[in-house]
Structure 1
Amino acid sequence: MSSYDEPSPQELHALAILWNQGPSTVGFVHEIMNSDGGDRTYTTALAVMRNLEKKGLAIRNTQGRAHVYEAKVDRGSILRPRLLNLVQNSFGGSLGQAILSLISVGVMTPEEKIAVTRVIKQHKAMAAKKKTTKKKAAKKAAKKPVATKKKVAKKKVAKKAAAKKVAKKPAKKKVAKKAAKKKVAKKPAKKKVAKKAAKKKVAKKPAKKKVA
C-alpha cells in the first residue's frame, strides 16, 4: 500500500515535469503544461502544485519570493502499478505487445533507443540465467534419488555387518565356555593322578622297612 494519495491526470502531468526538469517554479510548470497548445491558467497550475504538496507527492521550498516545487516520490513508484495494470488489462499480460504499441505511438530519440536496447539486453541475460538455474536444479533433483539409493544400500551393508558381529560374539562366548569346562574337567584328572602317585609312595615305604 502507498503512503500517499494517487495523483489525478493533471497532477501526474505536473509530476512528470518535475521528474524531467527537476525543481521548478509554478510559472515554469504552467508554461510547460501549456506547451501542447493548452490554455490552462496560472491559477490552475498553482492549485495542481498545492494538491501535489498536500498528497505528499511534492515538497515546496522558498527561494526569495518564488516557491519552488520538487518531486518527493520517484517515477517508478508512481508509474509501475499503472503500467502493470495497462499491460495486464490492455495487452493480456504481453509485455512485448505493450512495448511495440508504445513505440508505434511516437518517435524515440537516439539516447532513448540506446537505453531501450540496453534494457532488452539485460532482460535477455536475466532470462538466460533463469534457464541455466532451472537446468542445474533439474540435474540436482535427478541426482538426489541415485544418491539416496546408494545411502540406503550402504546402510543395509552396515546393518548386515553389525548383525554378523553380534552373531559372532555368542559363538566366541560358547568357545570360551567350552575351554573353561575343559580346564575344569582336567583339574580333577590331575588331582586323581597326584593322589595315585601319593598312594604308591606310601605303599613303597613299608617295604623298605622290612628289608632293613
Structure 2
Amino acid sequence: MPEVVPTERELQALKVLWQLGQATVREICDAIGEQGDRLAYTTVLSLLQVMEQKGLVGHTAAGKVYTYFPRVRRESTFRRLAKGFLETVFDGAMEEYVMRALESRPLSANEISRLEQMIAAAKTQTRGSPPEPNANEPRARRNRKQGDKP
C-alpha cells in the first residue's frame, strides 16, 4: 500500500491529534477554530471519515461519541511531505532546497547546533560513497543528455 500524503486540511487535523493524542470531532473543530480557521462540525466529521479511509486516523466509539487518534507518526509524515516538496518544487536539488529554507527566517542557536549535528552525521554516512555528479544542479538538468536543449 503506497504511503498516503495528507492534504493541507488533513494536516491541520493531524496536528491537533498529534498534540492532544486523541480528540473528538468537536475538540478538533474547536482547535482548528482557535487557529483562525472556522469549520463546520460536519465538515470536520467528513474530513475525519475520509482520513480514516486513507489510514491516517482511527477512532474509538463510546455511545454516539467518536474519539479519533492518529495512525501515522508526525516525523514520518513530515519526512514524506518534505521529500515530495523537494522533488516537486526543487527537482531534487537538495542544496537549493536547504538554502531557500535557511534564507526564509533567522535561526535560533539551538537550531544551528542541531543542523551542525545533522551535517556532521551526514558527512560520516557519506564517507566512502562516490559523490553525486553535478550535485548542485537540479535533477532534471543533470539527467539531460549533452547537447539537449533546456
TM-score normalised by length of structure 2: 0.66
Highest CA radius of gyration, 1 or 2? Answer: 1
Find the counterpart in structure 2 of residue 2 from structure 1. Answer: 2
Matched residue type, 1:99: A
Change (3 A) 1:118 1:68: farther
3-state secondary structure, aligned to 1:126:
helix
Greater share of helix:
1
Runs of 4+ in 1 over 4 A off after TM superposition: none
Find the counterpart in structure 2 of residue 93 from structure 1. Answer: 94
* Superposed CA RMSD: 2.8
Q: Which runs of 5+ in 1 are unaligned?
A: 135-212
Aligned pair count?
125
- How far apart are 1:44 and its partner, in Å? 0.6
Change (3 A) 1:98 1:89: farther
Find the counterpart in structure 2 of residue 121 from structure 1. Answer: 116
Structure with more relative contact order (C-alpha pairs < 8 Å, separation 6 or more) = 2
Change (3 A) 1:22 1:103: farther
- How far apart are 1:83 and its partner, in Å? 1.0
- How far apart are 1:125 and its partner, in Å? 2.3
Q: What are the residue-to-residue correspondences of 1:26-37 with 2, within 5 Å?
A: 26-37=25-36
- How far apart are 1:24 and its partner, in Å? 0.9
% identical equivalent positions:
25
Matched residue type, 2:94: G
Matched residue type, 1:18: L
Contact 2:10 2:51 survives alignment (8 Å): yes
1:5-43 deviations in whole A, cap 9, x for unaligned?
443321121112112221111111001112232231111
